[in-house]
Structure 1
């Protein structure tokens, strides 16, 4: 009998052909919880359709293609004319087109619009995260533009359109438009008040010319950008279109594309303005206040994006463990591997539950919910994005050597994981933002504590953590140096409160025991062995048969 030299056994099948939305219990339950009953069927139907596409082999191939073929800068055409265009692989445009047609830039003013969009963003980001950048900025530009009713009337229908067109031409002639932003400069970074880009008024109608640069300008092929520049009255927000109404190109010189650790499919660029036409948005000198609503919305998307990456990492890890055998049984049934998977699942569910709670606050738009968001968004952005990288790394390790190979998709998740912690203000910026809110907006702390207090008395470990947090908040000595520790505790207490109220008992118990009760090691897989870890892992698995 002839020997066989290459028989493939004990290799898990690819996680493909499943509904990314419907197989995510934490997400579906959050959508049910935060959506009015009369809207729920329609919302779930749309999200399930997007989930099936996200789990398809075709969509996953688009994700690989977009990252294996990064964008290319074309500064000049063959005749030497300056064109400043970025060439993307067709997969990038297919991903963007599906996202736009699914309403991922359309939430403002829609019933349950933010919950639906956040859930969709969480689902679709699991296919490929890079193209989420223009989606997020386009969605977030709407509240900033609303400070100028004329601009909002002109641009909002374009930004909320469900039609995508990639060509650069006057926005008025396109069925839909995408927006970017340019805030940071090389000398200032997050300190935008150090910006040097100048804005000189052309008339009394809000037209200016800009001269200067932007150190980070993502998605430079968007149709318009909100940027900050120094006007005679101080730092001001401006709208910069890529193409002027007469069809000529605005001065938008792309100097280079950034060579980034991850997020390879997305073009992040350095741009120069030299007599660039712009329209003022809001009053002179109030640029930060004008653009801050856009920043807050994109920060929420950072938290949603981190939850998406964690969810995909957990889905891949649990899928692998359910199909891979070692030492006489399935990996998923081994007590130590089950502990690791359950620990990862807790982090993922806590992030998802928190992200959807924040989205629901945007849908409510009451004074109390706005005050709650003022503290909860930077706290959530700080903590969930910090947790994303260790989750991705541990999930990769669950696949062993297979996880270290590009074909598994896990290295891309790991490279992508740190981005959301850096984008729209890194950890220190978020922590300092929380301190400012605590010092200047007492109603924000009241709203936060009211939300957390809804679970008081349900778990003694949560109660103890709330008490310790109140003690920490009462001590302002050396508060800036302690800011990260404080914000971490705020985020954990908020997550614990939400899970105690809404998650299954085994999930809430494990979270409170480990994250709040101190029965946890310094690495994943150190949960108390007496917990019901099997149910936590089963809940986290992606169902490829549904």
Structure 2
């Protein structure tokens, strides 16, 4: 049978009759069926988006959308560097299914709806929409996320923003490279990383020479260019004006120049990635490529810092989306399959694993939506200080939990989970990218130390956040006290000693943050089980080792 005829029974088959297999998990409202997400959206101030989210949930759970998600990953992007006559083409061809997926996401505002309509709860509603689409097809979420985040870097530069912001806020989608007057919408990609630099963007050697005004000509090579068929890109380069070296600047590089002329954007090859297969990533050469500086020349890191915060937020959301898919598929299988005379879901060992996976998924989702709430247009000084620390803390921990979570859920399906016919094999390959993109583990842990050093208010805001649940859990209170003492000790420590402790501190902060969120927004039964399983004296090292007395069946039923 093909991947898309799963669940059909062949009448008259002579050799065997397929039974005790769960049907294909389609035709489900992925929002309405996710009770913790519905409750969190309301709690975080976006209940007004309920109807739209239910429509989105039904769409991403439909047979057609899930089929498109599979096709987009089976028929991966193809690079066409030249046309048949040898002229430079530099285009990437995607399967039509990919275009249908991304068009649906943009139509529902998964990219920039919070910027277009900055009402209270807008960032939470946008985050929930992003979660739903990324739950089923994660590759397209890359350009969606970058377009959302790029607004933060572009909006303060009217020489770019005046033309491009209306296009970025549009919900239309057209995959063709067209002049601005023929294409009122746009997506934004990024080209930051170079071979010799990696996360050390200041080591980049791409050069930008002033052409006068805000325009520069770029020469150099980028090792990773994300979503290379986007309409414009954020690029870092060492700029100079005449004989004056300005330093590292952020520039906006359009694919098309005025009158439809193609900018020099030479795609060398596509990356052969472990996961994220539906989305192309490329190496690109600039040779006289025109770019327009964003913000102040020489202040490129400052220009992109808010963008980076938002893409890190989306790494948390993308991982949480993957956790939800993993839990949903594992629960579906366990409810539809019997072993040893009983449904898998009712067998205590399996129930414990499923409950633990569900708790991890909910904690990650609450973390993502709380972070999104901190980015609302009316964010207070407290919120801004808190997000400076809470974002890297959460990005580090949630994204590192993603791959193991996907593996454990995959194991719940047994041999089926290990095959490409089921979505959890793809999800297992997908989750590591969130831990690597926008800063791998050490980079993020060191950024936590930088936040504590450069923005001491962030530590105070984080402590105030944890204090909201003080007294609700003796286990969490003890952990929080130890963690804040550790934090204070590192603030004045020798830099080398602090770096050696950076991961330990970040992990402790993340667990304190998640424990507090679970106490506030999850049922007390679930919150207490989560805290005891992660911080209690009898905690285990693997999923499924829950505290004695945990009502695992009730936790599973809620999810």
Give TM-score, length-normalised by structure 2: 0.94
User: Counterpart in 1 of 2:423?
Assistant: 409
Residue deviations 1:294-337 (CA, integer Å, cap 9, x gap) = 11110000000000000000000011101110011011010100
Distance 1:506 1:323 in 2: 26
Cα distance 1:3–1:79, how it changes in 2: closer, same or farther (>3 A)? closer
Out of 274, 277, 298, which is 1:264 matched to?
277
Out of 349, 368, 373, which is 2:362 matched to?
349
SS at match of 1:183: strand
User: Counterpart in 1 of 2:481?
Assistant: 467
Distance 2:308 2:248 in 1: 16
SS at match of 1:254: strand
Deviation at 1:257, TM superposition (A): 0.1
Residue deviations 1:375-402 (CA, integer Å, cap 9, x gap) = 0000110000000000100000000011
The 8 Å contact of residues 197 and 230 in structure 1, kept in 2 or not, is answered as: yes
User: Counterpart in 2 of 1:449?
Assistant: 463
The 8 Å contact of residues 79 and 269 in structure 2, kept in 1 or not, is answered as: yes
User: Counterpart in 1 of 2:410?
Assistant: 396
User: Counterpart in 1 of 2:136?
Assistant: 127
Out of 71, 77, 92, which is 1:71 matched to?
77
Task: Report matched runs for 1:138-217 at 5 Å.
Answer: 138-203=147-212, 205-217=213-225
Out of 210, 235, 241, which is 1:227 matched to?
235
Residue deviations 1:59-112 (CA, integer Å, cap 9, x gap) = 000011000000000011111110100000000100010011011112125212
User: Counterpart in 2 of 1:520?
Assistant: 539
Distance 2:148 2:217 in 1: 26
User: Counterpart in 1 of 2:3?
Assistant: none
Consecutive unaligned residues of structure 2, counting only runs of 5 or more, are 1-11, 241-245
Deviation at 1:510, TM superposition (A): 0.4
Deviation at 1:172, TM superposition (A): 3.9
Distance 1:231 1:28 in 2: 48
Deviation at 1:155, TM superposition (A): 1.2
The 8 Å contact of residues 493 and 516 in structure 1, kept in 2 or not, is answered as: no
User: Counterpart in 2 of 1:286?
Assistant: 299
User: Counterpart in 1 of 2:391?
Assistant: 377
The 8 Å contact of residues 388 and 418 in structure 1, kept in 2 or not, is answered as: yes
Residue deviations 1:456-509 (CA, integer Å, cap 9, x gap) = 001111101111102211222422111111101101100000111111011101
The 8 Å contact of residues 21 and 336 in structure 2, kept in 1 or not, is answered as: yes
User: Counterpart in 2 of 1:543?
Assistant: none
- 1:29 paired with 2:45, answer no
Residue deviations 1:272-310 (CA, integer Å, cap 9, x gap) = 000001111111110000011111110000000000000
Please list every run of at least 4 consecutive aligned residues from structure 1 whose deviation after the TM superposition is greater than 3 angstroms.
Answer: none
Distance 2:294 2:357 in 1: 43
Out of 403, 410, 428, which is 2:442 matched to?
428
The 8 Å contact of residues 463 and 484 in structure 2, kept in 1 or not, is answered as: no
SS at match of 1:406: coil
Give TM-score, length-normalised by structure 1: 0.96
Residue deviations 1:338-378 (CA, integer Å, cap 9, x gap) = 11001101110000011001111111422110110000000
Distance 2:151 2:249 in 1: 17
Deviation at 1:151, TM superposition (A): 1.9
Deviation at 1:173, TM superposition (A): 2.6
SS at match of 1:126: helix
The 8 Å contact of residues 111 and 130 in structure 2, kept in 1 or not, is answered as: no
User: Counterpart in 2 of 1:19?
Assistant: 29
Distance 1:102 1:519 in 2: 45
Deviation at 1:512, TM superposition (A): 1.1
Consecutive unaligned residues of structure 1, counting only runs of 5 or more, are 541-546
